[in-house]
Amino acid sequence: MATLSVASVNVFAATASVSKQASDIAQQTIIIDSHIDVPYRVHEKWVDVAKSAEDGQFDYPRAKAGGLTAPFMSIYVPASLDSSAQSTQLAHILIDSVEAMVQRDPDKFALARSVDDVKQQFKKGLISLPMGMENGSPIQGSLDNLELFYDRGIRYITLAHSQSNHISDSSYDLRRQWHGLSDFGKSLIPAMNNIGMLIDVSHVSDEAFYQAIALSKTPLIASHSSLRSFTPGFERNMDDKMVKALGKNGGVIMINFGSGFVTKEALQWRDGLTKARNALIKAEGENSQKVQNFDDTYRAEHPYPYSTLADVLDHIDHVVKLIGIDHVGIGSDFDGVGDSLPTGLKDVSQYPNLVQGLLDRGYSRADIEKVLSGNFLRVWAQVEDYAASHS
């Protein structure tokens, strides 16, 4: 994680060229970031994010500086807890932590369960905290649990995470036990439609993606995915055919900022590190001093190739060229991708840099507002309307 001092240096360096127009757009527009991993971060090491934090990429002062209006709090449950009661328990604990943030500082934060909540709370100057569940494991095959989590404020579910679960195959898991969605997963899609839950296809396998598209009566989201055309062979990202299918569905892809999602050089660096570590473990033994010092040594000899703001903008441009301006947004993965963030987009204070980059590439204010929140709010409203008409 970047320290505050490093982040502050990056802020000052990167915002020197931010125009008043870009700053005004960031402060005057609802900004939705559909995936920020604050709850799991504070679960592992508690910090009061209402105050300036010494690490991480989110806290209230930086969010206000960047104009962030509605960060979706990721209720992330590790795949290691799949098929266990612990999975459901952890999800409830993380939801409790978001509720506690609001209860401690109601002058700063508010829960958001609807599009209207976000809009009304924006007018009041509050930061809305809607929630999305990353990994459907806590559902545990129960539609009653689906309703319970909806009642607690969960508004999207990422069907799987790093391993295949009882709902869907994962893009990261070579075992394709369901060849897409499980039977329960196929029944979960219409149930989510009917209750008003957004369906998130980040992390799922390609087969599961196309099955979800075919089954859903509402547009889908990819809450924190980027483009495979820039990272060949990385199934976690979406290829052009999938992006076009998502556009036809009316959905939206929310671009992940992590360098390994954005450029092939950063992705290959991570692969190289893993292979080198495994080779060293095989040669020296897992408990050797060389293995203990490996990460620092490797980074010194092979500096991490951070992506840039321009690389992230390239992903946005590519989506717009493929399917138009109405289907792209922001899903940074702040607090979820460690220190791999691009230069110019190191934390939540730096959304104005993104706005400036879009202005510099010729995007109109109306189009920028769609990227910042309009596209996601449109999809969310469609999901709400469908559920209201089928209740």
Tokens of 371: 């990227």
| Per-residue pLDDT at 374 | 98
| Per-residue pLDDT at 16 | 52
CB 258 within 8 A of CB 341: yes
- Report the candidate in 60, 35, 29, 10 with the shortest Cα–Cα distance to residue 359: 29
Q: Burial level of 85, CB count in 10 A (0-12/13-18/19+)?
A: exposed
- Report the candidate in 149, 108, 110, 154 with the shortest Cα–Cα distance to residue 131: 154
DSSP states along 116-178: HHHHHHHHTTPEEE-EEEESSGGGTT-HHHHHHHHHTTEEEEES--SS--SSB-BTT-S--SS
∠ CA 102-200-45, rounded to 5°: 40
**Please, what are the averages of pLDDT over each run of 10 residues along the chain (391 residues)?**
34 64 98 98 97 95 98 97 94 98 98 98 98 98 98 98 98 96 98 98 98 98 98 98 98 98 96 93 91 92 97 98 98 97 98 98 98 98 97 77
Q: CATH homologous superfamily of domain 4-263+306-389?
A: Metal-dependent hydrolases (3.20.20.140)
| Per-residue pLDDT at 7 | 38
| Per-residue pLDDT at 269 | 95
| Per-residue pLDDT at 83 | 85
Backbone angles phi, psi at 281, to 5 degrees: -60, -40
CB 126 within 8 A of CB 109: yes
Question: Quick count: other Cβ atoms within 10 Å of Cβ 124?
Answer: 9
DSSP states along 51-101: S--SSSS--HHHHHHHT--EEEEEEE--GGGTTSHHHHHHHHHHHHHHHHH
Gyration radius of the chain's alpha carbons: 20
Backbone angles phi, psi at 199, to 5 degrees: -100, 120
